[in-house]
Amino acid sequence: MKNARLFIYNGLILTAASLLLRTLGVGFNIFITSRVGEVGTGLFQLVMSVYSPALTLASAGTSLASSRLVAEEMGKRRGNPRAVLLRCVLFSQLSSIPIALALFLLSPYISVSWLGSAGASHLLRMLSVGLPFISLSSCINGFFIALRKAKNTAIAQISEQLFKMLITFTLIYSMSDRADLCLLLVVFSNVCSDIFSVVISLFLCSKEAKQLPKRSVTRGGISAAVLSITLPVSISSFLRSALTALEHILIPKGLLKSGLTYGASMAAYGTLTGMALPIIMFPASFLYSFSSLTVPEMAEANERGDKTEIRTKMRQILRAFLIFSIGASGFIFAYSSDLGQAIYHSDKVGYYLNILAPLIPIMYLDNICDSMLKGLGEQIFTMKVNVIDAASCVLCVFFLVPRVGIMGYVAVILLSELINFGFSVCRLKKVTGEKTGLLSALPKPLISVAASILITKPIASLIPGCAVRSAVGIALGTLLYAAIIFGEKTLRDKVIKNRAVPYNGARKRTGDAP
């Protein structure tokens, strides 16, 4: 890949920022929960169940549209990325302001009729104010990704989180100890941090825009191009979130019909979705930053019509994700019991980890396939697949869970990921006209991770304590796995290089005079 170093550099920046934000978020949420209490936390979750679909409609697709279209303009000899950015910004406001206004006006009705709490009205109204700012910030972040300026996105996100924590601590400690008022102050702080993030993003954006070449030529159809990206992404995200919400409502009800008590149903559901699945998806936090950067990479190459570069990037990215995901799958599978005990003191969590771990490569590769397809202008295809997948999951949950119990939902997850991945890979192969090379690349990481586990697990088993044992075992295994993968590649490259050196007559031959 031509910009491989820049790609990796930006990915590492976004990954580090994501991990830092997650760490800060955990401590912040603990503080908030202790101040607003269980009732306030429950009310906030109810409010978010209504606010999340509105946020999806207001901002989904704006980042993708900005990153892809700006990258396409950058790939043209006489493109105008400034004009595209301004059109994306305009669209973000035209789409988010009406939704914010509707949520503001309908808040009293929604609070009483849907949520059963009149007190939620003030929270919804306050949150609605932040929708246009979030949409604008998302658009500008897409612009930074298109320019390969991930550090600006990281600066804006970290600044927003620190500002939110500062203003929340200040307001709560200085104004009130009442749980209901504390919750209102938390929401107010969220909105203030959204506005602050936009200010930082606009400042950084103005500096980057000044460095862009001044071009007067602007192609037509920018608005149509923006709509062709944002509309399908927004609609699919909204439908998928609604169907997913319905799916998660049906699961506990299905478990009740299967013969479990209410407490047992909620325990099984919570163990699988709230404990096991987050562990399965945690390693993906190292990859999702790279997924977002893949969109402009593929979009720019696609705009130039460089099929060779597209195919090369596709195979390189897929192989990198395959190596990482098989490593994550192998180590979680090998230490599933220890991880379940170390994190949640639960054998059931370890049992679910053992079942779901082999699915990790499918999950992670499906995500990167979707990102590459979006970069190649296939967002409508991904929309159809995601909506069909979500609808199929709802039907399967409705029929399977009452008959099979929680293992019916496990089966739904397995089938859903396999079908989704199959569609994505086939479409990627068709669009690029090139085989993905996943099957030929599969044996090497499989053998390497198996060897790493067989060598390091007996050493780790000598260590007492699940937490220390799993941590040391995974760390040693990961180091050995990386050494095998990259060591073999280095050796192979040297062999190929030596074979490629032509004979120049200077080398000493047998029988020559000394």
What does the pLDDT read at residue 298? 84
101/507 Cα distance (integer angstroms): 80
What does the pLDDT read at residue 475? 92
Handedness of CA 461, 466, 470, 476 (dihedral sign): negative
Residues 336, 346 contacting (CB under 8 angstroms): no
Burial 220-257 (b: 16+ CB within 10 A, else e): eebeebbebbbbbbbbbbbbbbbbeeebeebbbebbbe
**Tokens encoding 365:** 């590769």
**3-state per-residue secondary structure call for 435-483:** CCCHHHHCHHHHHHHHHHHHHHHHHHCCCCCHHHHHHHHHHHHHHHHHH
Residues 67, 292 contacting (CB under 8 angstroms): yes
125/101 Cα distance (integer angstroms): 9
Along the 514 residues of the chain, how does pLDDT read in single tens digits?
Answer: 445 677 777 777 877 777 777 667 666 766 776 777 656 766 776 677 778 778 888 887 788 888 888 887 776 766 678 888 888 898 889 889 999 999 999 999 888 877 677 778 889 999 999 999 999 999 998 888 888 787 888 888 888 889 988 998 888 877 766 767 888 888 899 999 999 999 999 999 988 877 776 655 455 567 777 877 777 777 777 787 777 767 766 787 788 888 888 677 767 777 787 778 888 888 887 777 777 778 777 887 887 788 888 888 888 889 989 999 999 999 999 999 999 888 888 888 899 999 999 999 999 999 889 889 888 888 788 878 888 888 888 898 889 889 888 888 888 888 888 988 999 999 999 988 888 888 888 999 999 999 999 999 999 988 888 889 999 999 999 999 999 988 766 655 565 555 554 544 444 333 333 3
HSE of 268 in the Cβ direction (CA atoms, 13 Å)?
22
DSSP-derived 3-state class of residue 503? coil
Residues 384, 427 contacting (CB under 8 angstroms): no
What does the pLDDT read at residue 496? 55
What does the pLDDT read at residue 266? 67
DSSP-derived 3-state class of residue 118? coil
Q: Which residues 6+ apart lie within 8 Å of 392 measured at CB?
A: 416, 419
**How big is the chain by its Cα radius of gyration, in Å?**
25
The residue to which tokens 């997924």 are assigned: 291
How many beta carbons lie within 10 A of that of residue 285, not counting itself? 12
**Tokens encoding 285:** 């936090």
How many beta carbons lie within 10 A of that of residue 473, not counting itself? 23
What does the pLDDT read at residue 507? 41
